[in-house]
Amino acid sequence: MEDGIERGDAFMEELIKDCVHCGFCLPTCPTYVLWGEEMDSPRGRIHLMKQHVEGTPITPEMAGHFDACLGCMACVTACPSGVRYDRLIEETRARVEREHPREPQDRALRALVFALFPYPRRLRALRLPLRLSAPLRAALAPRLARFSPSLAVMADLAPPVAGPRPRLPRLVRARGPRRARVGMLTGCVQGEFFPQVNAATARVLALEGCDVVIPRGQGCCGALSLHSGRDEQALRLARRTIAGFERAGVDTVVVNAAGCGSTMKDYAELLAGDPEWAARARAIRTVDVAEFLAELGPAAERHPLPVTVAYHDACHLAHAQGVRAQPRSLLAGIPGLTVREVPESAVCCGSAGTYNLFQPVAARELGERKAERVLETGAGLLVSANPGCTMQITSALRRLGKEEIPVAHTVQVLDASLRGLGPRALTGEGRGEAG
């Protein structure tokens, strides 16, 4: 396909052969943990993929098992044989979208989500209804749930909008001697629902000696589409993102959303069918903000921040990018701050891009399981590195009656320390000042 990722049966067969059916993936797979069903484990899904490659059409039952996968990549981390389940599920989902006729309601929901979420201006239209007070939104939720459980989840997940979205300049100058010049991805969901995270990212990078270039007109990087099998849309958005940073004249792009970072790091492989674009993708380095700051090393003074935090491993940061130590190291470098580990850290929270919209029941179970593990830490603040995780866990904590535990991005915590704001900027009264 000219505009799609067409890898073919030979590609699938080669990767499928790597699986020796050992079962090491089973305890790390969220859906297997929930249901204990073999076909809802990576090993079981690979068996179904093999059947399809050998000629079995995609049945509704097969599609259901593939749809139930979160794509969290915990199995990739756990696999001793190096099975590229990430590539297998991406290709399989693209085939499901091309070959499997979905029910009209499901098809309409997916069309709505992918006509809305990857486009910041359209997503911005949601900000007005989200200004509704929490009690009013809660009162409307049961009626919305009767109409569409997925739309009810969408309303529940979205964070409240407190005021106008802060606008970032095209260039944020380094404070003190310039140590680097980088581009910054603002993203779609991050940019519209968590603009305070982008503002904190730009400030921290500047305080650490970076000129930060923020191109206008940015949109989705393609991650949401890629992870749901909409490969043509994903590649269009990938090319647009690459071109935008080329025009900005940067060769390093810092990303503060785990799903975006994992996709952008794979651009060259995703665009392998188009050598020119693959080369352009390789010319731009994508790096997670925690990864970049850890490499750069500290320059700005860290002020004490006496708070106990629990750090949540976003799946597409820990499993897809292998970035685990760097965020913990940044947090550990803040005087007075204590980091606690969340039990079952490798198990997904249930967000997984658009998963919580398309699989609301399973996502709700996983979200509440994660929230309970967070509460076990006794921390006063949860630190996350992905907007989907932040919304998912915040919603689950709210359902458990624990709204007093806020969720902040790693760079917001570092921002509060560098600016000497104190813990009230992140917890209790004054929450959000660090953004």
Tell me which residue of 74, 71, 77, 88 sits closest to 18, measured CA to CA. 88
pLDDT at 299: 94
How far apart CA 153 and CA 363 sit, in angstroms, is: 10
pLDDT at 292: 98
How far apart CA 76 and CA 70 sit, in angstroms, is: 13
* Amino acid at site 297: G
pLDDT at 149: 65
Domains, the chain, ranges and CATH?
A: 8-99 (1.10.1060.10), 300-425 (3.40.50.11810)
Contact 84, 18 (CB under 8 A): yes
Contact 197, 411 (CB under 8 A): yes
Contact 19, 81 (CB under 8 A): yes
pLDDT at 429: 40
What SS3 state is found at 79?
coil
* Amino acid at site 269: E
Which tokens in the block code for residue 197? Answer: 């995270």
Place of tokens 């813990």: 423
Q: What is the pLDDT along the chain (435 residues), one digit of tens a residue?
A: 345 555 678 889 999 999 999 999 999 999 999 999 999 999 999 999 999 999 999 999 999 999 999 999 999 999 999 999 999 999 999 999 999 988 888 888 888 888 888 888 787 776 655 555 555 556 666 665 565 666 667 666 667 666 667 789 999 999 999 999 999 999 988 888 899 999 999 999 999 999 999 999 888 999 989 988 898 999 999 999 999 999 999 999 999 999 999 999 999 999 998 999 999 999 999 999 999 999 999 999 999 999 999 999 999 999 999 999 999 999 999 999 999 999 999 899 999 888 988 898 999 999 999 999 999 999 999 999 999 999 999 989 988 988 778 999 999 999 999 999 988 888 754 343 333
Residues 6 or more apart whose CB falls under 8 angstroms from that of 35 comprise: none
How far apart CA 88 and CA 49 sit, in angstroms, is: 8
pLDDT at 401: 87
Q: Which DSSP state fits 194?
A: -
Considering only the C-alpha atoms of the chain, give the largest distance between any 2 of them, rounded to a whole number of Å.
63
Distance from the Cα of residue 248 to its chain's centroid: 24
pLDDT at 363: 92
How far apart CA 129 and CA 132 sit, in angstroms, is: 6
pLDDT at 2: 43
Which tokens in the block code for residue 295? Answer: 């490499």
How far apart CA 410 and CA 184 sit, in angstroms, is: 16
Place of tokens 């398309």: 358
